């Protein structure tokens, strides 16, 4: 459907498309929510059998809005073609698609008119669907094949020269194959280069397309360089700057149900290896079935997907998203239409169809079609409203705004201020039901309805950009009516201004890059900007200079020829229910000046099959690997941590390397740790029999002279039994005899039996008694503090601190002289946090008594615990569950206690009460206050912190990301290393910077001292080369 003022009376009119022949409708807005059906008189019913999208645009540049409808035709016996109704300016229209060369007949979803070549007239993009989704996955190498029915089409407006639009798709670089199943179409200048780009949402296997406009008549599809993942079954989309940072962000819709019961009857994603075969081995990018909110990290350089933490990931079978400021508070809100008449993906329904196939031969006859459809569950939903906070988050306000109780199938939608009362109303085209007009009753606030008066052939200024500055805030919108799903919105840009009376300034940039700046503009509702009043040539970088980078990437200068290569090992293939992989924790780095030349050297751990490397720094700041034969002997070990320390009190840094990897059984020789002694010249030799044989799957080592006997002792942490994730493990304190031989400390010194699955450890003096205390934590663990009383430790847990902890950094963040604890956790951008309000739990037991341990992960909603995984996944290792429940609906929406009935007893219960990356602030007396780091840091698990000193100001880089999860959980790839500092006056952390280029899985960050007192930060990313950055001057 479309809203737009077709008779230029100042009131937006409404056009609906229909899926029956000549069923489209045009309603004139008579004011005060009175509408008149003028379809017949206007001649816009159309002739096509099945219309899909509609967009309004002044195609012939006469100042009157024309209507272009899209149609499914030439298939399924459907006749018709896309139709162009040229507005005669007298209440009538003339269908002129053929005349303009726009009478395409095929599988069109929607079309958009925009000036891609900046020649002043509107060109046309026609978005088509595929014939049918492919059962067999087609390799992406077929994208360049041409399909005349389903390939998208870009047409250049050559009306001035030839009277027609010209198909230039192929030359422009548009994919025209039948792989693309286009359902979402968004046009916007994502990279702020003044040329409009195209974002296409594709349903099914094909990933979305991101066409960057090269400014020379061609586009480059370059999604893979800018997006980490997409919606799997992309439906409609919308583009807007929802966080008021001047960058256009994207939302794409999918079909993830928000309701626990429906969720568990909805087919979940595949296992990781099947996902790999279907998508990755065929060249597709990662896609997950959920709405994706893609935050533009700046000029489209990269996008961070935050739908889960933002609260907009699941709105069921969804169609049209629309960003707009519905409550005029200056922040864009989000409308989403959803609902499907029948829900064919219901798993019980699939069982039913399968049985019907067998019993009645459904395939041979259509006799049972009615029965088939009748049994398909209803998929009704309600329109969603989310209130935006102008930053990262949206709150579901459907209840408060009055749409939560509506029930139906809400499809195409558009907004417009229908009664010109200053707030945006919404019109929805519904399936099998009358259309809905939602009148906005929000309390009055200041606002501007901005219309644009363009010159030449683009009379409505399509593509123009408007920035509005008020106080410290900026709002940005681009005029692009085609939005959401198969719909287009009113031609006025709506800016909510809350209580602002005067707008500091308004900047408008027209498609031809002429611009105008208006200052101190009263916020008085209707406003018009005229292209004829603009001038000059807009230079984006002058107006919006790029933020100064706090860090400079010098990886190229260092030119280290080494990359971490993770070995192919899927933990899930051994432990079906392990919550996430434990085998991709590398690489870690240890730093020391091993040859005493005043320049720091480093050791980087190798994955299984790859030796670790000792890298010696040269005067020129380059690094060369030495002693490769020595370290090569441990090639088969997965090295998970390393530390330099003086083991034998000869004044030279020796090296301890920890082995683990979650692949080898306990007792396997490659699980042995290695202690290498430094000969004082920077060369190393592996010691024999100086450390106990700890053939377990370990994770961490920390050093300190815990008994003040003049030598350095070790804590070595154990991660997990490589077959029994969840069972708490025993770690070790190893005491040094002064000559570098280590023995396990007695339990009278420290009790480390079954303390948990340790991921990280550190020695630090928390109570300022001069003795280093030991802090350890891990997954499903609290932060455990072992206070050191003159060499004897007493254990203390920070209360309610259980989490999925990955890293610790002791630091005095608030400058009060006490050491605080920065702790990296799983974050909030996940399905365990969003919509949940209790601890995440892990129940561990051999539930079916077959000798292998199962882990049942559950989240909590209103005190009730539900398994994270659905019935099918749990039944694989636990077929016993099938004995009791045949239907998915038997257990969908039921608690874990119900689902496991009498099997649910005598289990080990683990929990994670806090998922946030957190700083525990120390009062010096052993009390810690939880201070959660900002939302921007909670986008992914945090695996490393590094302190940053600038003058006397200390800040911290937090980095992470994690890919080793099942597709249903969805890999964590949204976090760019963020710099945070503690604000003493607010008692909170603030984000003060970002590293824009370390977007993979960061595992460690270490400062390396270079010549002239300079320092370089090494950033280690899993399965990647090391990155080196230096602090900008």
Partner 1 sequence: MKRVLFFLLLVVLLSACKEEGTKYSNVFDSPVLYAKTVKELNNVVMQNNFPPIIASRNYVYASIAAYEVVALGDDRFQSLAGQIKHLPKIPQQDLNNVNFQYAAILAFCKTGEAVTFPEGSMTAYRAMLDSLVKISGMNAAMKEASIQLADSVANHILRWSRKDNYAETRTGERYNITKEEGRWIPTPPAYAQALEPNWRDIRPMVMDSADQFTPPRPPVFNMTDKQSKFYQEVLAVKSAGDSLTDEQKHIAEFWDDLGNRTIVEGHVMFTAKKFSPPGHWMNIVGIAAEKAKVDFSTTVYAYAKTAIAMFDGFIQCWDEKYRSNLVRPETVINKYIDPDWRPYLQTPPFPEYTCGHSTVSASAAEALTDVFGDNFAYTDSSELEFGIKNRSFTSFRQAAVENNWARFYGGIHFHHSCLISTDHGKMVGELVNQRLKMKIK
The distance of closest approach from Cβ of residue 183 to partner 1 in the complex, given in angstroms and rounded to an integer, is 12
User: In the complex with partner 1, which residue's Cβ is closer, 386 or 485?
Assistant: 485
Looking at the DSSP bridge assignments, the partners of residue 95 are 85
Distance, in Å, from the CA atom of 357 to the CA atom of 368, rounded to the nearest integer, reads 10
Which of residues 226, 261, 278, 836 is near partner 1 by CB under 8 A? 278
Give the shortest CB-342-to-partner 1 separation in angstroms: 11
Least distance (Å) between residue 580 CB and partner 1: 16
Nearer to partner 1, 354 or 799 (CB): 354
> Tokens standing for 343?
């829900």
Nearest distance from residue 344's CB to partner 1, in Å?
Answer: 5
d(CA 243, CA 293): 11
In this structure, the chain runs to a length of 1033
Q: Does the protein bind partner 1 through residue 680 (CB under 8 A)?
A: no
Using CA atoms, how far residue 930 sits from 2, 717, 823, 837, in Å, is: 50, 24, 10, 18
DSSP codes joined into one string, 203-246: -TTSPPEEEEE-SSS-EEE-HHHH-S-EESS---EEEE-TTSSS
- What CA–CA distance (Å, rounded) separates 156 from 151? 16
- Kindly tell me which of 276 and 930 has the beta carbon lying closer to partner 1: 276
Which two three-digit tokens encode residue 687?
A: 């010691």
Least Å distance between CB 179 and partner 1?
12
Binding to partner 1 (CB under 8 A) within 605-644 occurs at none
| Helix, strand, coil percent values for the chain (each to nearest 5) | 10, 40, 50
List the x/- string, 228-247, binding to partner 1 by CB under 8 A: -----x--------------
Q: Does 570 bind partner 1 (CB under 8 A)?
A: yes
Q: Are strands 292-296 and 784-789 parallel, antiparallel or unpaired?
A: unpaired
Cα separations in angstroms, 772 against 604, 687, 764: 26, 27, 5
Q: Which of 40, 160, 281, 537 binds partner 1 (CB under 8 A)?
A: 281
718 binds partner 1 (CB under 8 A): no
DSSP state of 391: S
| Strand order from edge to edge, sheet including 66-71 | 51-57, 66-71, 83-87, 93-95
Using CB under 8 A, count the residues that bind partner 1: 53
Tokens of 105: 């007949």
C-beta closer to partner 1: residue 876 or 905: 876
Judged by CB, which is closer to partner 1: 447, or 578?
578
Pairing outcome for strands 425-430 and 436-438: antiparallel
Task: Kindly write out the interface string for residues 549-568 of this chain, putting x where it contacts partner 1 by CB under 8 A and - elsewhere.
Answer: -------------------x
Q: Which of 543, 572, 898, 1007 binds partner 1 (CB under 8 A)?
A: 572
Check residue 574 for interaction with partner 1 (CB under 8 A).
yes
Taking the complex as a whole, how short is the minimal distance between the CB of residue 135 and partner 1, in angstroms?
Answer: 4
666 part of the interface to partner 1, by CB under 8 A: no
Q: Which of 430, 556, 446, 442 is nearest to 497 (CA)?
A: 446
Q: How far is the CB of 138 from partner 1 (least distance, A)?
A: 7
When binding is defined by CB under 8 A, the residue of 31, 89, 163, 267 that contacts partner 1 is 267
* 333-372 residues near partner 1, rule: CB under 8 A: 344-345, 350-351, 353-355, 357-359, 361, 363-364
Among 99, 276, 393, 565, binds partner 1 (CB under 8 A): 276
DSSP single-letter state for residue 373: H
**Distance from the first to the final alpha carbon of the chain:** 54
Task: Give the shortest CB-581-to-partner 1 separation in angstroms.
Answer: 14
Could you tell me whether strands 230-231 and 287-288 are parallel, antiparallel, or unpaired per DSSP bridges? Answer: parallel
Q: Does 701 bind partner 1 (CB under 8 A)?
A: no
Q: What are phi and psi of 864, to 5 degrees?
A: -105, 140
Could you tell me if residue 232 is left (phi over 0), alpha (psi between -120 and 50 degrees) or otherwise beta?
alpha
Beta carbon of residue 766, minimum distance to partner 1 (angstroms, whole number)? 42
> Cβ contacts of residue 436 below 8 Å, gap of 6+?
383, 406, 408, 410, 427, 428, 430
Minimum CB–partner distance for residue 834 and partner 1 (Å): 23
Q: Which is nearer to partner 1, 138 or 1002 (CB)?
A: 138
Site string for partner 1, 832-861 (x = CB under 8 A): ----------------xxxxx-x-------
In the complex, the smallest distance separating the C-beta of residue 804 from partner 1, rounded to whole angstroms, is 23
Q: With binding defined as CB under 8 A, does residue 378 bind partner 1?
A: no
SS3 state of residue 646: coil
Among 88, 96, 218, 271, binds partner 1 (CB under 8 A): 271
**Closest distance between partner 1 and the C-beta of residue 133, in Å?**
6
907 lines the binding site for partner 1 (CB under 8 A)? no
In 3D space, the residue among 506, 521, 503, 524 whose CA is nearest the CA of residue 444 turns out to be 524
Residue in 368, 343, 338 with CA at minimum distance from that of residue 889:
343
Closest CA to 128 of 104, 144, 145: 104
Angle at 154 between CA 152 and CA 157, to 5 degrees: 155
| For partner 1, the closer CB: 406 or 570 | 570
Those residues whose C-beta lies under 8 Å from the C-beta of residue 78, and which sit 6 or more positions away, are 48, 49, 50, 71, 72
Contact between 75 and partner 1 by CB under 8 A: the answer reads no
Angle at 965 between CA 964 and CA 966, to 5 degrees: 135
What is the C-alpha separation between 374 and 371, in angstroms, rounded? Answer: 5
Binding-site member from 259, 270, 421, 812 for partner 1 (CB under 8 A): 270
Site membership for partner 1, residue 663 (CB under 8 A):
no
Q: Which of 40, 371, 746, 886 binds partner 1 (CB under 8 A)?
A: 886
**Footprint (CB under 8 A) of partner 1, residues 88-147:** 132-133, 135-139, 142
Distance of closest approach, residue 551 Cβ to partner 1, in angstroms: 36
CB of 319 to partner 1, least distance (A): 14
Of 276 and 391, which has the nearer Cβ to partner 1? 276
Would you state the structure tokens that stand for residue 1025, as one six-digit string?
A: 């080369």
- Kind of pairing between the strands at 908-912 and 840-845: antiparallel
Pick from 407, 876, 905, 1015 the residue near partner 1 by CB under 8 A: 876
Q: CB-wise, 417 or 854, nearer to partner 1?
A: 854
∠ CA 986-992-998 to the nearest 5 degrees?
140
Alpha helices in 279-431 (DSSP H): 307-310, 347-360, 369-374
Residue with Cβ nearer partner 1 (152 or 854):
854
Between 340 and 940, name the residue whose CB sits nearer to partner 1: 340
| CA-based max dimension of the chain | 99
Query: Interacting stretch for partner 1, rule CB under 8 A, among 187-195, 266-274, 764-772, 826-834?
Result: 266-274
How many CB atoms are located within 10 Å of the residue 439 CB? 12
Distance (Å, rounded) from C-alpha 570 to C-alpha 662?
10
Q: Which is nearer to partner 1, 457 or 874 (CB)?
A: 874
Please identify which residue in 405, 472, 548, 883 interacts with partner 1, judged by CB under 8 A.
883
Measured CA to CA, the distance from residue 88 to residue 47 in angstroms comes to: 19
Give the C-alpha separation, 61 to 73, whole Å. Answer: 28
* Segment near partner 1 (CB under 8 A); pick from 69-77, 419-427, 573-581, 737-745: 573-581
In the bound state with partner 1, the residue whose beta carbon lies nearer, of 278 and 751, is 278
Say which DSSP state 885 is in.
Answer: -
Select from 37, 273, 737, 923 the one that contacts partner 1 (CB under 8 A). Answer: 273
882 part of the interface to partner 1, by CB under 8 A: yes
Can you give the binding site for partner 1, defined by CB under 8 A? 132-133, 135-139, 142, 233, 255, 267, 270-271, 273-274, 276-278, 281, 344-345, 350-351, 353-355, 357-359, 361, 363-364, 568, 570, 572-574, 576, 848-852, 854, 876-879, 882-886
């Amino acid at each position: 459907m479309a809203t737009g003022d077709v008779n230029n009376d100042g009131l937006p009119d409404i056009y609906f498309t229909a899926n029956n022949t000549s069923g489209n409708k045009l309603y004139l807005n008579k004011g005060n929510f009175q509408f008149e059906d003028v379809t017949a008189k206007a001649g816009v019913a159309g002739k096509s059998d099945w219309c899909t999208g509609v967009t309004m645009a002044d195609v012939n540049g006469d100042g009157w809005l024309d209507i272009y409808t899209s149609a499914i035709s030439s298939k399924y016996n459907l006749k018709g073609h896309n139709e162009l109704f040229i507005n005669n300016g007298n209440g009538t229209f003339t269908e002129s698609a053929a005349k303009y060369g726009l009478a395409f007949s095929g599988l069109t979803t929607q079309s958009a008119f925009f000036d891609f070549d900046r020649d002043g007239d509107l060109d046309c993009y026609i978005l088509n669907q595929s014939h049918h989704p492919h059962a067999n996955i087609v390799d992406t190498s077929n994208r360049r094949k041409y399909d005349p029915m389903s390939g998208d089409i870009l047409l250049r407006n050559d009306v001035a020269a030839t009277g027609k639009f010209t198909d230039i798709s192929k030359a422009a670089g548009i994919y025209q194959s039948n792989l693309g199943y286009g359902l979402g179409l968004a046009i916007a200048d994502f990279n702020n280069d003044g040329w409009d780009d195209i974002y296409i949402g594709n349903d099914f296997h094909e990933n979305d397309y991101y066409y960057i406009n090269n400014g020379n008549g061609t586009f480059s599809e370059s999604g893979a360089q800018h997006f980490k993942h997409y919606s799997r079954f992309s439906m409609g989309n919308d583009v807007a700057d929802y966080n008021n940072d001047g960058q256009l962000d994207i939302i794409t819709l999918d079909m993830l149900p928000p309701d626990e019961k429906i969720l568990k009857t909805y087919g979940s994603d595949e296992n990781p290896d099947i996902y790999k075969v279907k998508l990755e081995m065929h060249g597709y990018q990662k896609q997950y079935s959920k709405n994706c909110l893609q935050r533009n990290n700046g000029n489209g350089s990269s996008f961070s997907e935050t739908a889960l933490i933002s609260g907009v990931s699941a709105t069921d079978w969804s169609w049209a998203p629309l960003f707009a400021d519905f409550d005029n508070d200056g922040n864009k809100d989000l409308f989403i239409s959803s609902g499907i008449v029948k829900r064919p993906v219901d798993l019980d329904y699939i069982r039913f169809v399968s049985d019907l196939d067998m019993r009645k031969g459904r395939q041979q006859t259509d006799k049972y079609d009615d029965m088939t459809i009748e049994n398909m569950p209803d998929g009704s939903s309600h329109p969603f409203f989310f209130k935006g906070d102008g930053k990262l988050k949206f709150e579901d306000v459907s209840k408060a705004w009055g749409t939560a109780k509506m029930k139906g199938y809400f499809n195409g939608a558009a907004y417009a201020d229908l009664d010109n009362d200053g707030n945006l109303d919404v019109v929805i085209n519904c399936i099998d039901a009358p259309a809905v007009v939602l009148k906005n009753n929000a309390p009055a606030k200041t606002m501007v309805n901005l219309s644009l008066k363009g010159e030449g052939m683009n009379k409505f200024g399509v593509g123009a950009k408007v920035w509005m500055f008020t106080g410290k805030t900026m709002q940005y919108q681009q005029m692009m009516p085609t939005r959401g799903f198969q719909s287009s919105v009113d031609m006025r840009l709506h800016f909510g201004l809350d209580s602002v009376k005067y707008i500091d300034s308004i900047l408008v940039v027209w498609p031809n890059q002429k611009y105008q700046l208006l200052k101190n503009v009263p916020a008085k509702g209707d406003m018009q900007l005229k292209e004829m009043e603009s001038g000059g040539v807009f230079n984006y970088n002058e107006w919006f200079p790029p933020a100064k980078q706090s860090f400079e990437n010098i990886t190229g200068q260092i030119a280290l020829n080494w990359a971490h290569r993770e070995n192919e090992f899927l933990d899930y293939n051994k432990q079906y229910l392990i919550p996430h992989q434990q085998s991709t924790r590398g690489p870690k780095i240890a730093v020391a000046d091993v040859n005493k030349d005043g320049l720091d050297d480093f050791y980087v751990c190798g994955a299984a099959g790859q030796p670790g490397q000792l890298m010696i720094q040269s005067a020129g700041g380059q690094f060369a690997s030495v002693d490769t034969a020595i370290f090569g002997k441990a090639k088969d070990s997965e090295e998970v941590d390393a530390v330099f320390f003086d083991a034998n009190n000869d004044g030279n840094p020796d090296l301890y390397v920890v082995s683990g990897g979650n692949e080898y059984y306990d007792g396997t020789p490659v699980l042995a740790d290695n202690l290498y002694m430094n000969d004082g010249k920077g060369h190393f030799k592996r010691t024999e029999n100086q450390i106990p044989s700890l053939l377990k799957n370990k994770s961490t080592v920390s050093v300190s002279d815990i008994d003040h006997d003049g030598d350095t002792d070790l804590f070595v942490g154990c991660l997990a039994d490589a077959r029994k994730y969840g069972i708490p493990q025993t770690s070790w304190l190893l005491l040094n005899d002064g000559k570098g031989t280590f023995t396990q400390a007695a339990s009278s010194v420290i009790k480390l039996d079954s303390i948990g699955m340790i991921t990280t450890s550190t020695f630090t003096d928390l109570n300022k008694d001069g003795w280093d205390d030991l802090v350890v934590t891990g997954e499903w663990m609290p932060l455990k503090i072992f206070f050191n009383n003159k060499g004897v430790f007493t254990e203390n847990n920070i209360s309610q601190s259980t989490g999925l902890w990955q890293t610790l950094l002791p630091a005095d963040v608030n400058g009060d002289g006490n050491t605080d604890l920065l702790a990296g956790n799983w974050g909030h951008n996940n399905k365990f946090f969003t919509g949940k309000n209790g601890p995440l739990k892990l129940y561990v037991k051999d539930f079916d008594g077959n000798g292998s341990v199962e882990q049942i992960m559950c989240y909590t909603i209103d005190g009730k615990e539900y398994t994270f995984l659905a019935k099918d996944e749990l039944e694989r290792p636990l077929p016993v569950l099938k004995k009791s429940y045949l239907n998915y609906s038997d257990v969908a929406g039921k608690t874990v206690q119900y689902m496991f009935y009498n099997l649910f007893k005598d289990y080990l219960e683990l929990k994670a009460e806090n998922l946030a990356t957190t700083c525990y602030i120390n009062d010096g007396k052993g009390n810690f206050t939880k201070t959660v780091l900002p939302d921007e840091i909670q986008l992914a698990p945090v695996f490393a912190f590094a302190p940053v000193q600038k003058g006397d100001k200390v800040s911290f880089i937090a980095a992470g990301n994690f890919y080793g999860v099942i597709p249903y959980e969805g890999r964590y790839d949204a976090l760019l290393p963020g710099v945070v500092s503690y604000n003493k006056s607010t008692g909170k952390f603030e984000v003060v910077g970002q590293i824009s280029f370390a977007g993979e899985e960061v595992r460690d960050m270490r400062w390396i001292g270079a010549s002239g007192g300079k320092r370089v930060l090494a950033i280690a990313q899993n399965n990647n080369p090391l990155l080196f950055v230096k602090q900008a001057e």
